[in-house]
């Protein structure tokens, strides 16, 4: 059993709506209200310093807002993940906005440069835009694209500033390894709100997608088995859980809620099933925004999922899958 290390990333530079930096505290309050007073102190934690002071300044670069600050975060987060893995920990990353996931993937690849890293992306969104295609310029829609070293120039419609290009290229090259992951080693679960530019890449590279209907119809166990089977050539697996993978009716406290999502039970079983594989070396949880919520609903819903995931990680059930 590897000891868990909490990695706290309170950055929300990549989101279009303010408040995701408060997600960690919303979870802590949910733990206290659930009677789990010492839950987060059972394992050591690392606080990654944020650059949220930049939010008090006007965002400059339109098609990748606050990308310079995000680059600073990427350096810090990737180094923290690298150290966490190298010191024998299982990092559980609690993030603000989902842009940080590109840095977590980078840190994982930097820790294991000769290994193949699989990614399970549980999210309503594909997060597969680049500054050349993004309609919003919010970098939380780009972490997978930069991990794949993808620009998607085929679908280009934005003229980007030379300085945006410079930082975008820096993000793709972080850690000196690029790409970090391959399309074959990426699996989407609960994907249901994509744009044409993203659909183009998913189709072109034949990326494996498990829609919510497949989770419901075939059951979580089957989807877990198929996901691990699809990633059987990967040495390590990183799981990214965006709370908007869950249904908007349950999960309104997030920047971009989407209807027809996973139930909280499906999400819990999904994470537990995947985490039972010892290939999984890192888990990230992102986009809880209590400012958009009523009575901390999303954090109260997510806390038992996180608790159950942690029990699986530290438990005896983890097995090596062939």
Tell me how far, at minimum, the Cβ of 284 lies from Mn ion, in Å: 10
Regarding 123 and contact with Mn ion (CB under 5 A), the answer is yes
Q: How is residue 272 annotated by DSSP?
A: H
Tell me how far, at minimum, the Cβ of 141 lies from Mn ion, in Å: 7
Span of 30-38, 112-120, 160-168, 237-245 interacting with Mn ion by CB under 5 A: 237-245
Instruction: Answer for the pair 194, 152: CB distance below 8 angstroms, yes or no.
Output: no
d(C-alpha 270, C-alpha 167), whole Å:
35
**CB nearer Mn ion, residue 67 or residue 144:** 144
Span of 31-39, 85-93, 123-131, 245-253 interacting with Mn ion by CB under 5 A: 123-131
Tell me how far, at minimum, the Cβ of 88 lies from Mn ion, in Å: 29
Span of 4-12, 117-125, 165-173, 174-182 interacting with Mn ion by CB under 5 A: 117-125
**CB nearer Mn ion, residue 125 or residue 269:** 125
Tell me how far, at minimum, the Cβ of 127 lies from Mn ion, in Å: 5
d(C-alpha 207, C-alpha 193), whole Å:
15
Q: How is residue 263 annotated by DSSP?
A: -
Regarding 127 and contact with Mn ion (CB under 5 A), the answer is yes
d(C-alpha 199, C-alpha 208), whole Å:
12
Span of 8-16, 163-171, 242-250, 308-316 interacting with Mn ion by CB under 5 A: 242-250
Regarding 284 and contact with Mn ion (CB under 5 A), the answer is no
DSSP 74-111: HHHHHHHHHHHHHTT-EEEEEESSGGGHHHHHHHHHHH
d(C-alpha 98, C-alpha 104), whole Å:
10
**CB nearer Mn ion, residue 51 or residue 193:** 193
Regarding 193 and contact with Mn ion (CB under 5 A), the answer is no
Tell which residue, 104, 108, 150, 143, has the closest CA to residue 123. 143
Regarding 98 and contact with Mn ion (CB under 5 A), the answer is yes
Regarding 129 and contact with Mn ion (CB under 5 A), the answer is no
Tell me how far, at minimum, the Cβ of 24 lies from Mn ion, in Å: 17
Tell me how far, at minimum, the Cβ of 261 lies from Mn ion, in Å: 12
Tell which residue, 70, 148, 71, 140, has the closest CA to residue 109. 148
Instruction: Answer for the pair 106, 173: CB distance below 8 angstroms, yes or no.
Output: no
Tell me how far, at minimum, the Cβ of 318 lies from Mn ion, in Å: 26
Helices within the chain (DSSP H only)? 23-33, 67-86, 101-111, 143-147, 162-172, 196-204, 212-218, 220-230, 264-275, 297-314
Binding site for Mn ion (CB under 5 A): 98, 123, 125, 127, 242
């Amino acid at each position: 059993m590897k000891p868990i290390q909490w990695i706290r990333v309170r950055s929300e530079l990549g989101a279009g709506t303010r408040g995701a930096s408060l997600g960690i505290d919303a979870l802590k309050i949910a733990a206290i209200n659930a009677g789990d007073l010492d839950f987060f102190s059972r394992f050591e934690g690392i606080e990654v310093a944020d650059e949220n002071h930049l939010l008090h300044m006007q965002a400059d670069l339109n098609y990748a807002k606050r990308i310079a600050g995000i680059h600073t975060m990427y350096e810090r987060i990737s180094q923290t993940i690298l150290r966490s893995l190298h010191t024998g920990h299982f990092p559980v990353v609690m993030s603000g906005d989902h842009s940080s996931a590109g840095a977590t993937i980078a840190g994982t690849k930097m820790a294991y440069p000769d290994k193949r890293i699989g990614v399970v992306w549980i999210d309503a969104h594909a997060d597969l835009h680049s500054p050349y295609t993004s309609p919003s310029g919010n970098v939380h829609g780009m972490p997978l694209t930069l991990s794949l070293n993808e620009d998607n120039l085929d679908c280009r419609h934005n003229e980007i500033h030379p300085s945006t290009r410079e930082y975008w290229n820096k993000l793709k090259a972080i850690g000196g390894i690029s790409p970090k992951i391959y399309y074959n080693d990426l699996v989407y679960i609960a994907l249901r709100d994509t744009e044409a530019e993203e659909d183009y890449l998913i189709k072109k590279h034949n990326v494996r997608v498990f829609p919510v209907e497949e989770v419901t119809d075939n059951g979580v166990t089957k989807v877990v088995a198929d996901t691990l089977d699809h990633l059987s050539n990967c040495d390590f697996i990183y799981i990214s859980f965006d709370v908007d993978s869950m249904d908007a009716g349950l999960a309104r406290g997030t920047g971009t809620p989407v209807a027809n999502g996973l139930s909280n039970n499906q999400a819990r079983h999904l994470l537990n099933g995947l985490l039972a594989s010892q290939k999984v070396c890192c888990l990230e949880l992102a986009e809880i925004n209590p400012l958009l919520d009523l009575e901390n609903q999303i954090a109260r819903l997510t806390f038992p999922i996180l608790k159950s995931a942690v029990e699986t990680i530290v438990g005896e059930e983890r097995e090596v899958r062939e």
